């Protein structure tokens, strides 16, 4: 059996290759259009301008193939100079809607897996996938805050107070 390749940091220069044209605009998902925005912050509360955020959600079964080949349901966007990211998509489907999220950055020797939920805390606590966090106060770090109709805020704190929950892959 071949042995798995180890991870290495994405480094500071991933912008040469990884950000795609319109990468922050998710295709293939019908439903209420939403915008998710937030900062990625380090252990000193400082923004991480060289973070890369990827989001996954199930696309519609009957979505027509994308013309540019970009996979449906996938968002990939670099944070800007102030550490702000912005994803435009549709409200994920499912009982307790969420996006799968991967965070990459210089200084992260391996990417981080997490989720952002668009639901009230009580419903997220009842989600079977969050069983390990059912009674943890940290669960709230996975819930987006509704800022306006169709607009949600969610900050990612890599370290320290209010540290976002990350999952073991």
Partner 1 sequence: MNDMTRPGEVDPPYLYEGYRSTKLRAPSQPLVQVPAGTLDVPFARVGATFVKEGDNDLTVHGKAGTPLGERMVLTGRLLDESGRAIRNSLVEIWQANASGRYHHVGDQHDAPLDPNFHGLGRTMTDDEGRYRFMTVKPGSYPWPNHANAWRPQHIHFSLLGNAPVQRLVTQMYFPGDPLLALDPIYQSIPERARERLLCRLDLDVGIENYALGYQFDIVLAGAKSTPLGI
HSE-CB at 38 with a 13 A cutoff on CA atoms is: 23
**Does residue 87 bind partner 1 (CB under 8 A)?**
no
**Does residue 69 bind partner 1 (CB under 8 A)?**
yes
Q: Which stretch binds partner 1 (CB under 8 A): 9-17, 30-38, 83-91, 143-151?
A: 9-17
Q: Which stretch binds partner 1 (CB under 8 A): 72-80, 85-93, 118-126, 144-152?
A: 72-80
CA 45, CA 5: separation in Å to the nearest integer? 32
> Which 49-68 residues touch partner 1, going by CB under 8 A?
50, 54, 56, 58-59, 65-68
Number of residues that bind partner 1 (CB under 8 A): 68
**Does residue 111 bind partner 1 (CB under 8 A)?**
yes
CA 135, CA 58: separation in Å to the nearest integer? 28
Nearest distance, CB of residue 51 and partner 1, angstroms: 9
CA 132, CA 79: separation in Å to the nearest integer? 30
**Does residue 104 bind partner 1 (CB under 8 A)?**
yes
**Does residue 147 bind partner 1 (CB under 8 A)?**
no
The CB density around residue 80, as the number of other CB atoms within 10 Å, is 13
Q: Which H helix or E strand runs over 103?
A: strand 98-105
Which of 110, 113, 117, 114 is closest to 140 using CA atoms?
Answer: 117
CA 12, CA 35: separation in Å to the nearest integer? 26
Binding site for partner 1 (CB under 8 A): 1-18, 28, 42-44, 46, 48, 50, 54, 56, 58-59, 65-74, 100, 102, 104-113, 128-133, 138, 158-160, 163-169
């Amino acid at each position: 059996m071949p042995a798995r390749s180890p991870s290495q940091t994405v480094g500071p220069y991933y912008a040469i290759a990884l950000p795609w044209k319109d990468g922050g605009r998710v295709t293939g998902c019908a439903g209420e259009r939403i915008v998710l925005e937030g900062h990625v912050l380090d252990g000193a509360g400082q923004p991480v301008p060289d973070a890369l955020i990827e989001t996954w959600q199930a696309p519609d079964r009957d979505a027509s193939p994308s013309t540019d080949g970009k996979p449906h349901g996938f968002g990939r966007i670099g944070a800007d100079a102030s550490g702000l990211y912005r994803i435009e998509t549709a409200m994920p489907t499912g009982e307790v809607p969420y996006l799968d999220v991967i965070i990459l950055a210089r200084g992260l020797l391996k990417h981080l897996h997490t989720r952002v939920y668009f639901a009230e805390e009580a419903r997220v606590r009842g989600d079977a996938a969050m069983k390990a966090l059912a009674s943890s106060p940290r669960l709230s770090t996975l819930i987006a805050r509704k800022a306006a109709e169709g607009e949600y805020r969610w900050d990612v704190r890599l370290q320290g107070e209010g540290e976002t929950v990350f999952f073991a892959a």
